[in-house]
A = this chain, B = another copy of it.
């Protein structure tokens, strides 16, 4: 585990994502002696549990100017781990108290919209903001679900801005590495396209699938005969409706492109089924199965070690 030193970390939103990072830095990483972690919530109540669990040392309410100023004073790193739709208002709240030596990062699932919000809120100080996205999670949420090893061998994507200094970027990358993650870099549009494909689209497809059953005349009968394949296929339809509403809207353009190219593939399969074109069906199914099997073999290792995208001329190498 990489060494990583900090004096004060301020986390906006101490839930699964923020709480797991703090636990990782405190319990796993070689981060030296006593360090201070301040949690900021919408209200004092929302951070009580995090303090009880010892994840944070002190809690600050977002609307308390004086406490917020004190929390941000001397902070090395500020992590935004609240719902991504709050990014701009949080950064506007932080801006008046932001010291020149502090680096801000976030954990949002989309990046182009976060960069736009950050530019609007931070103006000339945009260089202090390093956009990030840890690709990790679990079905449970809240600080009780936080785990010190949530990021071990998981991918974290950073989307450096031209205004970021190498030192600011290195501080955030080192933090995630100290939590056990593998750090990659991508441009925001590339990040958003990749995540629309491998995460946002399948969520939409799974939600749509359950909705379609619900709209059928005999929904209850159908559910009664659903089994293992259904269970795995629909597991992501158990995700937070609010979060996925926000992601769909935040990443609209990339997601619409994926939906359209997906629909084109589905239409082609439909045509093959209708015309009884078994050869085409088998060819697509066999290609898919082989690709899925290949992915499974590589999935045990994070992208940087697997080399899964090496040699792809258009994809580039996001890990530099």
Contacts and interface: CB of A to CB of B under 8 A. Distances in A.
Given A288-B210, A306-B224, A229 B202 contact: yes
Interface in A237-262: 237-242, 244-246, 248-249, 252, 255-256, 258-262
Contact of A314 (B218, B284, B287): B218
> How many copies are assembled?
2
Given A221-B194, A230-B199, A292-B238, A244 B204 contact: no
Q: How extensive is the interface on chain A, given as a class?
A: 35 or more
A118 B215 CA distance: 34
Contacts of A269: 204, 207-208, 211, 259
A290 to B, nearest CB: 9
B244 A291 contact: no
Nearest to A193: B218
A157 to B, nearest CB: 7
Contacts of A228: 137
B220 A206 contact: no
Contacts of A227: 135-136, 154-155, 198-199
A213 B245 contact: no
A263 interface: yes
Interface string A126-149: 000000000111000000000000
Given A223-B308, A308-B224, A241 B286 contact: yes
Contact of A212 (B223, B229, B252, B262): B262
A223 B298 contact: yes
Contact of A285 (B207, B252, B258): B207
Given A205-B205, A215-B261, A221-B316, 4 more contacts: A193-B218, A199-B230, A210-B288, A220-B310
15 contacts: A194-B218, A194-B225, A202-B209, A211-B284, A220-B308, A224-B306, A232-B232, A232-B236, A233-B235, A241-B286, A248-B273, A249-B273, A259-B269, A260-B270, A263-B270
Interface of A: 135-137, 154-155, 157, 190, 193-195, 197-199, 201-242, 244-246, 248-249, 252, 255-256, 258-267, 269-270, 273-274, 276, 278, 281-282, 284-289, 291-296, 298-299, 303, 306, 308-312, 314-316, 318
